[in-house]
Structure 1
Amino acid sequence: MKIKMGWLVFLMSQSLLLSACSFGQPDVQQEESESVTRPSVESKVVAQDLSIPWSIQKLGAVFYLTQRTGDIVEIKDGNKSIVKTRLSKPLSDRPEAGLLGFVLHPDFESNQQAFAYYTYGDSDANYNRVVTLKRNASEWAEEKVLLDRIPSGQFHQGGRLEISPDHKLYITTGDATRQDHAQDLSFLGGKILRMDLDGGIPSDNPFEQSYVYSYGHRNPQGLAWSQNGEFYETEHGPNGFDEVNLIKAGNNYGWPKITGSDKEESMISPLAHSGEPSWAPSGADFWNADFVFASLAGQSVKRFDTETGEVTDLLTGFGRVRDVLVEGDTLYFVSNNTDGRGIPRENDDKLYGVDLKSVMNEE
């Protein structure tokens, strides 16, 4: 079967979970439209029949996609292979959990290593962890645990991994629905973490002997660096009020004390926020000076103009979008219509490619 039984039960139960209380609700704060809109731009389907894809990586001609159900999909020259992932802990099937962030090691071609973030069940508790994986002849195998027992809740797992231009590993963690703890520097949830590629704590981190790089986050899921080295983030807010932030070391981004345009001394308000309804933003990347990011509830890829601060739709009509990757003038993105909150279309989910120059010319 394409989806294991535990995940099938999870998908069937999603609608019941959407009524959770405000501090613990999932990050889709609007109902999906009953009608399926047409794509606003022409696209190429690179791969289809994916199962809740979460993260996109590409090296040369090969794509690597994580699926929340536990596999890594490799795509080369239009051929799709589903490669098993051998993890040392059982994946959690909680909402928003599973195999999430994934990034190739900068020396992948020689060491065949990658970094992954996943949610697991341990006795009566669930946690997230960051591990290294090794690509063997037939599988990806967990090799080393770099950071364990990152808080996990019913919702808000965080999960994005990115390697910065200075070769540090950045990790987004959700507040695990324990919102007040996002202000607690000893609590790993509700943070952006930064580590050396061997798992060590960088000596120039803002808090001594701590992985914490910034705090006061609710559920951050998108990270990207501009051409001039500025560090941007997307974050799910409560009942809308999703955020685009400029991240700097040691800053407090306010959750749960401030949201939207609220201001408070020593806390950083977002560069832009959705208000209502929600974007439910996820993976992000840069195309020239534009910060582009996936939108789940907003069913689009959005563009944040770093000069004007304006957020607009770059493309629509593909349903829920989980992650984006820009290579040259091509935008790749994955839909997430099979996650129990969308309306699956024929052969969903899919990896798409779009010519950004054509999109801009149409505007």
Structure 2
Amino acid sequence: MKQKGLGAAITAVILLLAACTQSPPAKEEGGQEDHREEKIDSSYHVLAEQLRTPWSIDFDGDTIYVSEREGNIVQIKGGTLTRQSVQTEKPVAHQGEGGFLGFALAPDFQDSGHAFAYHTYDQDGKIMNRLVLLELKGSQWTESQVFLERIPGSNVHNGGRIAIGPDDMLYVTTGDSGEGELAQNQESLAGKILRLTLEGKVPADNPTAGSYVYTLGHRNSQGLAWNSEGELYSSEHGPSGTPGGHDEINEITAGSNYGWPEIYGDNRLEGMELPIYHSGETAIAPSGIAFDEQDRLYVATLRGQMLYQLRPENASLEVVLEGEGRLRDVKVHDGKTYVITNNTDGRGVPSEQDDRLLVLK
């Protein structure tokens, strides 16, 4: 695997993180842990409170949209919070780690009112996931087209992150649905990063003709971000139990195999990629990730309960935000860093104000 950009510089972070924390492995998205490292300025403003298990953040100019796992989209505009209903052809199944997850506004949103969404549903007693196109009319979102259905799902490992790349393609992460072998099955949509056109078609330059699969061998990826060079990175949850931890940051290249469940951590197998960073036996459960204008990578963590910043220029790991509980997503917009807490997901310890959308000063 190439070691450039972010990758080569932060390999040493593994040793730093392992030395700074002593904690048992997580179970799935993890419970309560207390990670302490040198802290930089983490003052912030609260933009919204009492969000209901929020999952993703997107922006239309100064207007912010946040998806909630029970099946709503919250619009935050001029300090006013409006909870907008979502009507999908198949009801959202909000259970376990599933529900209304990834959400991304279409590039022509101001004209079309369109957005892309990923949600869990129950089909004859079996949990699955689907990717749909929504349209906003007034204060209600309605499904206007289904792109993909029957993506394997379960109470755990549904993936769910959606992002539009600099190539104007739609990228979607899927989990292995608790069945690791599916991540290595090229015919299954589980445990993959998928790539589609904005019309829901298979791009002509995808690695395999006629297939949405862009990469395979993922356990439960919940973060996608591009740096200024157009290089794609993802975050991923490592194994539960013993050994646990081994949460990853991967540099994503078309057609590559990222190893799950055959390898993780520093294990090697021909034809499979190593992560550019993994957390050793410490579980941090990374979710949303984002680059800033200096190509520093922010990582929101659930079990870790911190917002980290990876600084590739000197291979250092710093805590940007701590003490706010579980963190689900982070975005950098117009030079500001936004993060949502995720304390109302059944695994956190919510305050009366949770969950909250924060913007760092």
Q: TM-score range by the shorter chain?
A: 0.7 to 0.9
Name which of 293, 302, 305 aligns with 2:299: 293
Distance in 2, Cα, partners of 1:302 & 1:39: 10
| Aligned position for 1:126 | 127
**How much has 1:144 moved relative to structure 2?**
0.4
Distance in 2, Cα, partners of 1:252 & 1:162: 20
- Three-state SS of the structure 1 residue aligned to 2:183 is helix
**How much has 1:291 moved relative to structure 2?**
1.2
Contact 1:272 1:311 in 2 (8 A): no
The answer as to 2:283 corresponding to 1:278 is: yes
* TM-score of the superposed pair, with normalisation by structure 2: 0.88
Name which of 231, 234, 253 aligns with 2:258: 253
* TM-score of the superposed pair, with normalisation by structure 1: 0.87
Contact 1:64 1:72 in 2 (8 A): yes
- If asked which structure has higher relative contact order (CA below 8 Å, sep 6+), I would say 2
Deviations 1:206-252 (A, max 9, x none): 01110000000000000000001111100000121100000000000
Amino acid at match of 1:293: V
Distance in 2, Cα, partners of 1:336 & 1:216: 27
Q: How does 1:87-102 map to 2 (within 5 A)?
A: 87-102=88-103
- Three-state SS of the structure 2 residue aligned to 1:109 is helix
Aligned Cα root-mean-square deviation (Å): 1.7
| Aligned position for 2:6 | none
Q: Alpha carbons of 1:235 and 1:248: their partners in 2 closer, same or farther (altered >3 Å)? A: same
Amino acid at match of 2:249: V
Consecutive aligned runs of 4 or more in structure 1 exceeding 6 Å deviation: none
Contact 2:100 2:120 in 1 (8 A): yes
Give 5+ residue unaligned stretches, structure 1: 1-21, 356-363
**How much has 1:324 moved relative to structure 2?**
0.5
Give 5+ residue unaligned stretches, structure 2: 1-24
Distance in 2, Cα, partners of 1:40 & 1:85: 37
| Aligned position for 1:9 | none
| Aligned position for 1:77 | 78
Q: How many residues align?
A: 328
Distance in 2, Cα, partners of 1:247 & 1:312: 24
Q: How does 1:1-363 map to 2 (within 5 A)?
A: 25-28=27-30, 30-32=31-33, 41-238=42-239, 239-287=244-292, 288-355=294-361
Q: Alpha carbons of 1:233 and 1:308: their partners in 2 closer, same or farther (altered >3 Å)? A: farther
Distance in 1, Cα, partners of 2:40 & 2:130: 36
- Three-state SS of the structure 1 residue aligned to 2:173 is strand
Deviations 1:15-70 (A, max 9, x none): xxxxxxx9x95221x5346xxxx996211000001000000001111100000011
**How much has 1:279 moved relative to structure 2?**
1.0
**How much has 1:314 moved relative to structure 2?**
2.2
Amino acid at match of 2:296: D
Deviations 1:105-147 (A, max 9, x none): 0000100000000000111111100000000013000110001
Deviations 1:300-324 (A, max 9, x none): 1112234455443222111110000
| Aligned position for 1:19 | none
Amino acid at match of 2:323: G
Amino acid at match of 1:27: E
- Three-state SS of the structure 2 residue aligned to 1:334 is strand
